[in-house]
Amino acid sequence: MSSERLQAPRGTYDVLPEDDEARGVVEAAARSILGGAGYRRIETPVFEHTELFARGVGQSTDIVQKEMYTFDDAGGRSLTLRPEGTAPIMRSYLEHGMHKLAQPVKLWYLGPFFRQEKPQAGRYRQFWQVGAEAIGSDDPAVDAELILLLHALVFELGVREVRLRLGSLGTPATREAYRDKLVAHLRANEDRLSEEVRGRIDLNPMRAFDADHPGTREVMQSAPLLLDELAPEDAEHFAEVRARLDAAGVEYEIDPTLVRGLDYYTRTLFEFTSDALGAQSGVGGGGRYDGLAEQVGGPHVPGCGWAAGIERLLLAADERRAPVEAVDLYVAGTGVEAFALAAEARRAGLAVQLELAGRSRKGMLKQADRIGARYVAILDEEGTQLKDMETGEQERLAPDAVVAHVIRGRHLA
Ligand code: HAM
């Protein structure tokens, strides 16, 4: 066997203790913003039946075609590490009969997701998302409120240079009719298109909107837009969403060519990007998915939601250090008396750290200073001395008086 030192798999990373604080800030902000709006936390399993994603996310998407971590279990069932959270949450809604609750059912989640993408800055194979889903209502206020909540989260975390793009896809039938129209437009102007776009006319005609090629750009200027083709009720729904965002003072750009890599979207579609990030500028996004429940075997249930990448939120946010945990007492001693004192102080509710490395007295005081301890209990042959690290005062106390003294000092602080 090789004795090479092993490393974490490509595209994964360790959340080190020093990174945990910033992530805690994201979680606390999500809990406060989403919890305050009546969203309740849900966590679904990290793996699901592969079929859930094949049917929910869509066979034609990059995610299902090439990015899923799929394996067979011992019983020969195909399982997949979840690449996203919306299909699992819809499964859970159906499985637990949540249609019997007051609608919409408002849920939020935070956890790891897995996609076998090419790793680069801001793109990982295991990444974390915070997300929100409101299932059971097609009211445009649901869409607008969800956008507002992600907007609040992004601003609470100090994400820099944020832009919000907004679009609407209408129904699958509208989309299909539009697609035919777009393909016809591209075919009619085929000789002016780049070779790449020409080769993908049938596969992915929407890609032509992103092309840099001058001829293609010219052709696309007169291309039909999906937003102009929406059925009246879908156009009305989109106008209602926009009216609410306007009323709330949220700035956005309408992007008629906005596309996202999941097949379940209908109607509203949105994406928050940060210009402070590089190529992977998508901080979070989502939309409405009124057909998803049926795709995974349920009745018609409308839904809307979003997810944001924790890594990208943090990369694009202002550095803000979370407060360091307070240490009330550092017990500078290694014997059983020291151990008993630490246990007693913890039972009394104090934050206590114990000397664990057999340092010299000088070393222990240095360590206490490093961790910002308020008091240090120095145990020696004659008993216990308590040092107040703020005033530098030191007094000898009976062992059973130490905890009361620290508690009193904490109240005075
Ligand atoms: P998504 O756009 O695929 O949507 O992912 C949401 C966010 O997750 C992205 O904006 C990005 O910040 C982050 N993300 C995605 N892939 C990676 C990666 N490989 N590395 C790091 N971050 C990544 C969804 O997943 C939908 N479920 C959102 C949704 C909820 N739509 C409706 N409800």
- Provide the β-strand partners of residue 377: 331, 386
- Tell me the C-alpha distance between 128 and 246, whole Å: 31
If you measure from the C-alpha of residue 279 to the centroid of ligand 1, how many angstroms do you get, rounded to a whole number?
15
- Provide the β-strand partners of residue 357: none
Given a cut of 80, is residue 319 above it in pLDDT? no
* 283 close to ligand 1 (CB < 6 Angstrom): yes
pTM over cut 0.95: no
Per-residue pLDDT of 62-88, as tens digits, reads: 999 999 999 999 999 999 999 999 999
Given a cut of 80, is residue 28 above it in pLDDT? yes
Regarding beta strands 303-309 and 126-135, do their DSSP bridges make them parallel or antiparallel, or are they unpaired?
antiparallel
* 238 close to ligand 1 (CB < 6 Angstrom): no
Q: Which of 106, 125, 129 to mutate to test the pocket of ligand 1 (most atoms within 8 A of CB)?
A: 129
Q: What is the pLDDT of residue 409?
A: 86
- Listed range (125-134, 205-214, 286-295) with the worst mean pLDDT: 205-214
- Tell me the C-alpha distance between 153 and 30, whole Å: 7
Q: Which amino acid is at 229?
A: E
Q: What is the pLDDT of residue 216?
A: 94
Closest residue by Cα to atom 23, ligand 1, is 309
Closest residue by Cα to atom 31, ligand 1, is 286
If you measure from the C-alpha of residue 285 to the centroid of ligand 1, how many angstroms do you get, rounded to a whole number?
7
Q: Which pLDDT band, with edges at 50, 70 and 90, does 260 fall under? A: confident
* 140 close to ligand 1 (CB < 6 Angstrom): no
Per-residue pLDDT of 135-186, as tens digits, reads: 999 999 999 999 999 999 999 999 999 999 999 999 888 988 999 999 999 9
Q: What is the pLDDT of residue 47?
A: 98
* 58 close to ligand 1 (CB < 6 Angstrom): no
Q: Is the dihedral of CA 235, 237, 239, 245 positive or negative?
A: negative
Q: What is the pLDDT of residue 320?
A: 62
